[in-house]
Chain A
Amino acid sequence: MTWVNAIVQGILLGGLYALFACGLSLMFGVMRIVNLAHGDLAVLAAFLAYSVMSATPLGAFWAVVVVVPVFAAFGYGLQRGLFQRSLAISPLSTLLVTFGLSVVIQNLLLQIYSADTRALDIGSLVSEGLRINANISLSYLALITFGLAIVVIVALQVFLSRSRTGRIMRAASDDQEAATLVGADSRHVYAVATAIAFATVALAGLMFAMRSSFDPSMGPSRLIFAFEAVVIGGLGSLWGTLLGGMVLGLAQTLGAQLDPTLLLLSGHIIFLAVLAFRPQGLIPARRLA
């Protein structure tokens, strides 16, 4: 029965990983940008929420409502102001810029908040859950996170396939110049994509911070999980990212069931196995959506 619990927990954990990964997947799919600061942005969002909750009487829910749009705006500005310039130079330059951004964010957080771990206080919700039987219990927080991941990925999918902006985003990722020829301002289109990606990573960071404590140096390990989820699922497919997240989560919890020290290693082994035997990922898609 504990194995069943491990499977259930793995799937729910996968929701969190998928939420982390979809912003990474979107930025790569639309603009071919690998955002090495992705994990640090999640941590930044968590600290921002922490400050909001400390300075105001707002609870965690309202902190999410505040931080996610702020991050979307931040993403829009960063794309127009920073990434757009580096994109014009070369693909490698943007990679280096995001690497630099990662270093800056970590040190800024260290400077402002010190290395102490923090947590977002959500009261008793953190330990409440649905007791299925003696072995299986579903934490409300994990369920909410999983639900949010599904909603976000479905919404993104619908946005990309049905909406006017989503369609032009897919077009711009196919052929940027041809997209300009139909009247798209590629700077704006890309900035919208980045804004969406930043909003999702902020949400992921906040959901993570509610279940676990965080500190300024946790960014890179979050990035690794997001990266692995994207690669396992298949580059360029949002459904793949969801699946990849769940596979990673499952690998980790099942490995931990065997031996608690195997948690991280099992995830990495599955990632390497996918790279070795099916490098295009589980749901390969040539393009986004």
Chain B
Amino acid sequence: MTLLELDGLTVRHGQLAAVTGVSLAVREGETLAIIGANGAGKTTLLRSIAGVLRSSSGLIRYDGEDVTRMPTHRRVAAGIALVPEGRRLFPSLTVAENLATGTYRKRPGPWSMDRIFAIFPWMADRRQQSAATLSGGEQQAVAIGRALASNPRLLLLDELSLGLAPIVVRGLYTTLPQILAEGTTVLLVEQDVSQALRVAVRCVACAAGTRCSTVDRPT
């Protein structure tokens, strides 16, 4: 069943249309990757799905409901969680506190602290550490954990690989199957095309804000 539907979505940054007339559908339980060059509007698209950016026209339908005008905090309560580009952890909070902020709008679901520590075992020992002192890859993991803590139905991953070494990125993506096993739908934006193709069954390629084509992973 279709969990997320975008219909002719246009998002502007001032005068510049970053995303123009994009339509796509994401089925519940699937992993969809949005790939494309820098500036193609992928992050803008994800941020408007999360509610951080207001779209100027078009429709966002989530679970059959029109959420185009719904504010971000209500979308989190509805089950949409964004892992933002650049991690955006809270630097004055510890690892444990950062994860705990994810439970602010908690929905019922399998993602307890124990479950999150199970997929990122190193976190349990470092939970009192200040988030500002973590490495990039560790911060990315905590950011994912923070989003999972709200038990989302739709997890949005924005440029996981940004600024991280390939081996770190691969390590992060190996946790994805465990996330998917819980039935979470994942929509990810990734510049690293080969990495995206490794995890996603369907890919949507964006160029300059307009969806070009869907690519199914060759079997």
Contact = CB atoms under 8 A, between A and B. Distances in A.
Nearest to B75: A183
A286 B97 contact: no
Interface in B76-108: 76-77, 81-82, 84, 88-93, 97-98, 100-105
B50 interface: yes
B43 interface: no
A180 B82 CA distance: 10
Interface residues of A, number: 20
A184 B52 contact: no
A170 B150 contact: no
B93 A171 contact: yes
Contacts of B184: none
B104 A184 contact: yes
A269 B200 CA distance: 66
B153 interface: no
Contacts of A185: 71, 73
Interface string B109-138: 000000000000000000000000000000
Contacts of A175: 88, 90
Contact of A286 (B77, B92, B98, B147): B92
A167 B92 contact: no
Contacts of A179: 90, 101
A168 interface: yes
A264 B108 CA distance: 58
Interface centre among B71, B101, B146 (most CB of A within 10 A): B101
Nearest to B91: A174
B76 to A, nearest CB: 3
B72 interface: yes
Contacts of A180: 52, 72-73
Interface size class of B (residues with CB under 8 A): 20 to 34
Contact of A183 (B76, B89, B91): B76
Interface string A264-289: 00000000000000000000001110
B73 A174 contact: no
Contact of B88 (A173, A181, A286, A288): A181
Interface in B25-57: 50, 52
A184 B73 CA distance: 6
Contact of B105 (A171, A177, A183, A287): A183
Contact of B50 (A167, A174, A181, A287): A181
B52 A182 contact: no
Nearest to A168: B104
Contacts of B100: 164, 167
Contacts of A287: 91-92
Contact of A178 (B71, B88, B97, B103): B88
A166 to B, nearest CB: 10
29 contacts: A164-B104, A167-B97, A167-B101, A171-B93, A171-B98, A171-B101, A174-B90, A174-B92, A175-B90, A177-B84, A178-B84, A180-B52, A180-B73, A181-B50, A181-B72, A181-B84, A181-B88, A181-B147, A182-B81, A182-B101, A183-B73, A183-B150, A184-B73, A184-B101, A184-B105, A185-B71, A286-B92, A287-B91, A288-B92
Interface of A: 164, 167-168, 170-171, 173-175, 177-185, 286-288
What 4 pairs across the A-B complex have the smallest Cβ distances? A183-B105, A183-B76, A287-B92, A178-B88
